[in-house]
């Protein structure tokens, strides 16, 4: 059994242990069963208006958030709890200096000015000082190696003349994007192109008043080692330019738990589902 299949299997075992009945692929009967608590109205509205098909079934596939291994469900279970309560403990756990409550929202889009729909940022934290922290959340997606044959970016990201990242003041990102497009630099597990697209949208809309965080469910083994190495390489290349920070969900939970932040029910749910089941 490969690592991703093992993670899904453990999530299925956890669900069955509390009386849920997922199918063999790890999908529940509804996305509501996949959540610690009911979504806050603003969170649900954001997902319904987003372009990710997270909550609604289609004729050919179930809603993505019905999957026990859904990264959006993971993000909602960790972050939606903090959207309507005092959240300075969350900010501290993320290493953010703000001492005032922040606005937490989901599925944010920052248009790049290029044709097509901008990518959805899983979580956005708007700090009281005006800066924005965009968070890209990953559960099992990074465990599937990327194919090296396909172009990394569509042609629209490389028009004639000045590069799109350079125009937005992101010269380091422009250099890395070019190296990735020419295949001089390759990422097997980290979706570096997605992170660069998020950085472009944030910079176009916010100038330099943003940071980009990458929060992921870590796994041991060779894939985890390579993934962490690629995160380090990405941070070395562009981290100072975009305020990049990477943290595993295990590290985030440890920081929250050390502060006894959030309700005991919240921490126990996260521990049983994501931490104990991940080991």
What is the C-alpha separation between 15 and 156, in angstroms, rounded? Answer: 43
- What percent of the chain shows pLDDT beyond 70? 97
Q: What is the DSSP letter of 118?
A: P
What is the C-alpha separation between 43 and 60, in angstroms, rounded? Answer: 25
What would the pLDDT profile of 180-190 be if each residue is shown by its tens digit?
999 999 999 99
- Give pLDDT, residue 119: 84
- Is residue 176 within 8 A of residue 183, CB to CB? The reply is no
- Give pLDDT, residue 1: 66
What is the C-alpha separation between 159 and 258, in angstroms, rounded? Answer: 49
Laid out side by side, the sheet with 245-248 consists of: 103-109, 120-126, 132-138, 210-216, 245-248
Could you tell me what percentage of the chain is helix, strand and coil, using 3-state DSSP and rounding each to the nearest 5? 45, 10, 40
- Give pLDDT, residue 278: 47
Look at residue 149 and tell me whether its pLDDT is greater than 90: no
- Give pLDDT, residue 97: 80
What would the pLDDT profile of 164-203 be if each residue is shown by its tens digit?
999 999 999 999 999 999 999 999 999 999 999 999 999 9
Strand ranges, E, within the chain: 103-109, 120-126, 132-138, 210-216, 245-248
Look at residue 279 and tell me whether its pLDDT is greater than 50: no
Average of per-residue pLDDT across 226-232: 98
pLDDT band at 51 (very low <50, low <70, confident <90, very high): low
Instruction: Kindly report whether the global pTM for this prediction surpasses the value 0.85.
Output: yes
């Amino acid at each position: 059994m490969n690592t991703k299949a093992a993670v899904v299997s453990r999530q299925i075992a956890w669900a069955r242990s509390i009386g849920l009945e997922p199918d063999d692929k790890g999908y529940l009967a509804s996305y509501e069963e996949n959540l610690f608590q009911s979504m806050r109205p603003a969170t649900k509205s954001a997902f319904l208006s987003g372009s990710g098909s997270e909550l609604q079934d289609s004729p050919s596939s179930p809603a993505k958030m019905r999957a026990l291994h859904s990264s959006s469900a993971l993000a909602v279970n960790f972050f939606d709890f903090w959207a309507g309560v005092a959240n300075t403990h969350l900010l501290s756990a993320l290493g953010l200096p703000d001492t005032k409550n922040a606005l937490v929202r989901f599925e944010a889009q920052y248009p790049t000015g290029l044709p097509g729909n901008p990518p959805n940022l899983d979580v956005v934290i708007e700090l009281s000082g005006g800066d924005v922290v965009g968070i890209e959340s990953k559960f099992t997606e990074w465990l599937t190696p990327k194919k090296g044959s396909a172009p990394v970016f569509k042609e629209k990201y490389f028009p004639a003349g000045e590069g799109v990242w350079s125009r937005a003041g992101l010269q380091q990102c422009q250099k890395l994007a070019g190296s990735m497009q020419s295949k001089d630099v390759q990422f097997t597990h980290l979706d570096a192109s997605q992170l660069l697209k998020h950085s472009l949208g944030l910079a176009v809309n916010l100038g330099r008043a943003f940071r980009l965080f990458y929060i992921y469910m870590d796994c041991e083994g060779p894939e985890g080692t390579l993934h962490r190495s690629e995160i380090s390489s990405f941070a070395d290349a562009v981290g100072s330019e975009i305020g990049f920070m990477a943290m595993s969900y295990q590290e985030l939970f440890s920081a929250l738990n050390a502060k006894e932040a959030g309700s005991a029910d919240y921490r126990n749910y996260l521990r049983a589902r994501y931490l104990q089941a991940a080991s």
